[in-house]
Amino acid sequence: MTSNSFIVSTLLLLLAVAPTATSPAPNIESQSALLGTALQATVSGTRGSTEVYFLSFAGDGKQRVFASEVRVARAALSSRLDLKGRAIELANSPDADERTLLATRDGLRQAIAGLAAKMNLDEDVLLLFLTSHGGKNAALAVEQAGLSLKDLKASDIRAALDESGIRWRIIIVSACYSGSFIDPLKDRYSLIATASRADRNSFGCTDDRELTYFGEALFRDALPKAGTLREALWIARDLVSAKEETEGLEPSEPQIYVGGDMYSKLEQLPLR
């Protein structure tokens, strides 16, 4: 071996064993301040105009697909609705660092309350998108490496929304058994869409995917061509059913609930 070859080989070996720089891990104690700063940057609603505020929650941080799904959801919705200055993302992920707004029960409550303070509560709509692994007990998995976090229950969401005073609610849940969220959350002012029936799995929550089957159908395929959000949800339901039939999967049967007063409210939310 020549001296030059020896030097190159030695450098490569040193690089292979040298520690790599990594971003600091998330710190739960700093979350309230980080989220407070993000909420301060949101804009206040304009009186006399129905506006949409977006809040997303990616619960399971062991996999990247959920954090990816909330990013895609925000981008897709922003292309059809004006969300500028009115969007907050909470996302657990293997890639989370000290600047990440984590998805926790306390964080969700703080975010809902903070957005409510900026909204005109009798006019504006909160669009809440939640994605994670789900259970039959109307709960979403909430995990982040190095932290001890509690799962998010439908009752937690309902309590936070009721305490905030937010009346108009569009809630989309992408998770197995997510139909179990409908009964605890429904009222006359709400639209609730779920990726599955209360007793069925949904599919696509693997790290080789950018989106779950439901997220892909709604945000990638249906939303760009739909005239209304409700139409996009119906199109997505049919697309999921077709994909599952092709793959021989048990139908997840996505669910859509629309409260009586929400029908007319949706007419004030045209997709651009």
pLDDT for 9 beyond 50: no
Indicate the SS3 state at residue 53.
strand
Segment 25-67, tens digit of pLDDT: 788 889 999 999 999 999 999 999 999 999 999 999 999 999 9
Q: What does the block give as tokens for 266?
A: 């949706």
Q: In which band, very low, low, confident or very high, does the pLDDT at 207 lie, cut at 50, 70 and 90? A: confident
Q: In which band, very low, low, confident or very high, does the pLDDT at 248 lie, cut at 50, 70 and 90? A: very high
Number of other CB atoms surrounding residue 65 within 10 Å: 21
Domain boundaries, the chain: 26-266
Quote the CA–CA distance of 162 and 140 in Å, as a whole number. 19
Quote the CA–CA distance of 193 and 233 in Å, as a whole number. 7
pLDDT of residue 24: 77
Q: Which CATH number fits domain 26-266: 3.40.50.720, 3.10.450.50, 3.40.50.1460, 3.40.50.2000?
A: 3.40.50.1460
Spatial neighbors of 63 by CB under 8 A, at least 6 apart, are 94, 205, 206, 207
Q: What is the pTM of this model?
A: 0.91
pLDDT of residue 134: 98
Segment 115-148, tens digit of pLDDT: 999 999 999 999 999 999 999 999 999 999 999 9
